[in-house]
Structure 1
Amino acid sequence: MAIFKGAGVAMATPMKEDGSINFDAMEKMIEYQIRNHTDAIIAVGTSGEASTLDDDEHLEAIRFCVEITKGRVPVIAGTGSNNTAHAIMMSREAEKRGADGLLLVTPYYNKATQDGLIASYTAIAEAVNIPCIMYNVPSRTGTNIQPETAAYIGKHVKNIVALKDACGNISQTARTLELCDGVLDLYSGNDDQIVPIMSLGGSGVISVLSNVAPQFTHDMCQKCLDGDFSGAAKMQLGSLALIRALFCEVNPIPVKAALNMMGFDAGKPRLPLTEMTEEHQASLRAAMKNFGIL
C-alpha cells in the first residue's frame, strides 16, 4: 500500500528569532508546497530538526501540518528515535494527531544489530495502525539496514510499507529492490539519485530539493512514473549544481538559508547547527539564480 508516489518534501521547520517554531511561516511553506504539486509532506524529520525539538513542539508541529494540509496530500510524521519506547510513544501520539503515515529513522548511536532493527521496527509498527516508512541513513546514524533485513521486515510486518533509502550505495539499493520484490515501496533519500533509483523501480523521493523546487521535483518524478527516463535524466543532471549547493553544509543548514532567500522566514537552525557561512551563502544564491528560483 503506497502512502504516496512521486516527490514528498522533507520539510524544514521554520524558527522565530527566539528559536520557537514559526507557525505562520510553516503555513506559508505548506501552502507553497501544495500549490506546486508536492505529493506528500514529511513533517519533523531530519530536515525538520526533529533532534532538537522537544516532544511537545514536535507533536504540535505534526498536528499543525495535518490541520493546514486538510487532507490535500498525505502528512508523514517523523517519529523515529534511538529509544524504541520513545519512538512508540511519539508514533502513537502522531497517529492521534492525524498523521497519515510515519517515517522511522534507524536507531542512531546505539548501533543496533540487524536483529535489533527487526525487533525495534516490529515493536513500533505493531503499536500503531497507520503505515510506516523505514529510513536508512547510515551516514548520520551509524546503522545500515541491510537488504536482507529490509526484505524480511517488509514481508513480515504488515504496516511497514516502504523504505526511504539514503544509503548512497546504488548497488545496495538495487539489491534491496531485488530482495523486496515489491513488498516495500522504496523512496530515494538522496536528491542526486532520484532518477537512478526510480529507474530500478523506486516510487519517488523524500526530498530536500522539494523545499525550494517542489514543482520541478514533482515533474521529474512524474516523468519517471510515466516512463520518460530520458527526460527525467535531463532534469536530474540539470539539478545537480543546485543539489550540491543545498548539501555543501550539513542539512538543513543550507535549505533554511535558501528558504530565507526566498522570503519564507525559515530562521536559523538550532544549535548545535549554525548559520551557513557567507561564502557558502553566496554559492547557494548563485546556484538558485542559475536554476531560476531567485
Structure 2
Amino acid sequence: MLTFGNVITAMITPFYEDGSVNYEGAVKLAQYYCENGSDGILVAGTTGEGATMTEEEKLKLFTDISAAVGDKVMVMANVGTNNTAQTIEFMKKAEKTGVDCFLAIVPYYNKPNQDGCYAHFAALAKATDMPILIYNVPGRTGGKIEAATVVKLAHDFKNIVGIKEASGDLNAATTIARDTDDDFYVYSGEDNLTLPILSVGGCGVISVASHIIGKEMNEMVQAYKDGDIKKAMELHQKYLPVMTGIFCTVNPTPIKACCNMLGLPAGAFRLPMVDASPKVKEFLTQMMKDAGVM
C-alpha cells in the first residue's frame, strides 16, 4: 500500500539465541508497529541488522511482512549494498516479494565521488520500475551524496521518489526540499531532527524511536502539518530524551534492549552486535519510565 505517511519504522529483526531469524516474531512486531503509529515499515535496514543477514533471509522477511501488513501500511525493503551490480540483482528478486518500494544506501567503503553516486542510483533506477529512496548516512558510509546530486537524480528519474536524510545537514535537506517537486519525499533519518527537517520542507521520519513512541512521533508530525506548531514543539521537547537516549550507544543495541524490556519479541543480536550492558539497560529503563513508556 504505497502511501508515504508521517512515520516509517526502521524495524529491528528478532533473532533466536542460535542466531536464526524469528520470522513469526518479526510479523508480530510489524503488526504491533502498525497499531502504534507507523504508516510504513522499513525491513532489514541498519536497525534491522541487515548487514549480517543473507539475501534469502531478507527476501523471506520482505515476503512475510508484506503478506501480514502490506494491506495496511507501506512496506519498504532495504536492498542497498556498495556493489551496484549486486544491488540490482537483489532488487530484481525483491520485486517479487510484495514490497512497495526500495531503500538504497549511498555506497559505503568505496566512497564514490558525486559522479559515481549519480551513476550508481541511475543504474538502480533504470533496472526497476519500483520506487526508490536514497539513504544518505555519512556516519555509516564514510561518504555523502550532495544535495545537487539528489536533485538531479530526482529530476532525471521519476522512480527516485525520496531520501532518508541522516547526514544532520539541514542546509542539504532544505535544498533538496526546495529544488524537487512536491512528490519527492524528504524523510528525516534522525529522530531528534524530525521537527527541524519538517520545518524546512520534510514530510516525516524513518524512525527508530517509533518502536516505543510511535503514536507520539506520528502525533508530532501531524501537528506540524496541521499548523499546530506549538503542539509539535511541545511533543518534540517532551520526547527528545527518548529520541536521543535510544542512541546512547550504537544502534540498534538500545532500541532492541528497550523492546525486549517491554516484552516485545525483539530477541537476540547477531555478532558483531551485542546486547546492551547492565549500565545501559539501567539508563534505558529510567528513560522509558520518565517518558511514560513503561
TM exceeding 0.5: yes
**1-structure distance, mates of 2:269, 2:170:** 31
Instruction: Give the CA deviation at 1:227.
Output: 1.7
* 2:148 paired with 1:148: yes
- After TM superposition, the score normalised by the length of structure 2 is 0.96
Query: What is the number of equivalent residue pairs in this alignment?
Result: 293
Q: Do the aligned partners of 2:3 and 2:73 also contact (CA within 8 Å) in 1?
A: no
Q: Which residue of 1 aligns with 2:283?
A: 283
**1-structure distance, mates of 2:45, 2:233:** 27
**1-structure distance, mates of 2:178, 2:79:** 28
Q: Which residue of 1 aligns with 2:172?
A: 172
Instruction: Give the CA deviation at 1:240.
Output: 1.3
Instruction: Give the CA deviation at 1:184.
Output: 2.2
Structure 2 counterpart SS, 1:213: helix
Change over 3 Å in CA distance of 1:181–1:69 after alignment to 2: closer
Q: Which residue of 2 aligns with 1:217?
A: 217
CA RMSD of aligned residues (A): 1.3
Q: Do the aligned partners of 2:37 and 2:218 also contact (CA within 8 Å) in 1?
A: yes
Instruction: Give the CA deviation at 1:69.
Output: 0.7
Q: Which residue of 2 aligns with 1:14?
A: 14
Q: Which residue of 2 aligns with 1:244?
A: 244
**1-structure distance, mates of 2:23, 2:254:** 20
1:70-219 correspondence to structure 2 within 5 Å:
70-182=70-182, 184-219=184-219
Structure 2 residue ranges without an equivalent (≥5)? none
Change over 3 Å in CA distance of 1:148–1:3 after alignment to 2: farther
Instruction: Answer with 17-26 or 176-185: which moved more.
Output: 176-185
Question: 2:209 is matched by which residue type in structure 1?
Answer: L
- After TM superposition, the score normalised by the length of structure 1 is 0.96
**2-structure distance, mates of 1:147, 1:180:** 10
Question: 1:56 is matched by which residue type in structure 2?
Answer: E
Structure 1 counterpart SS, 2:187: strand
Stretches of 4+ aligned residues off by more than 6 angstroms: none
Q: Do the aligned partners of 2:112 and 2:143 also contact (CA within 8 Å) in 1?
A: yes
**2-structure distance, mates of 1:57, 1:31:** 19
**1-structure distance, mates of 2:12, 2:229:** 29
Structure 1 counterpart SS, 2:19: coil
The one-character-per-residue Cα deviations of 1:43-76 (angstroms, maximum 9, x if unpaired) are 1111111100011111111111101114111100
Q: Which residue of 2 aligns with 1:59?
A: 59
* 2:274 paired with 1:274: yes
Q: Which residue of 2 aligns with 1:25?
A: 25
Q: Do the aligned partners of 1:199 and 1:229 also contact (CA within 8 Å) in 2?
A: no
**2-structure distance, mates of 1:290, 1:214:** 16
Structure 1 residue ranges without an equivalent (≥5)? none
Instruction: Answer with 156-165 or 259-268: which moved more.
Output: 259-268
Question: 1:58 is matched by which residue type in structure 2?
Answer: K
Instruction: Give the CA deviation at 1:223.
Output: 1.0
Q: Which residue of 2 aligns with 1:253?
A: 253
Instruction: Give the CA deviation at 1:183.
Output: 5.7
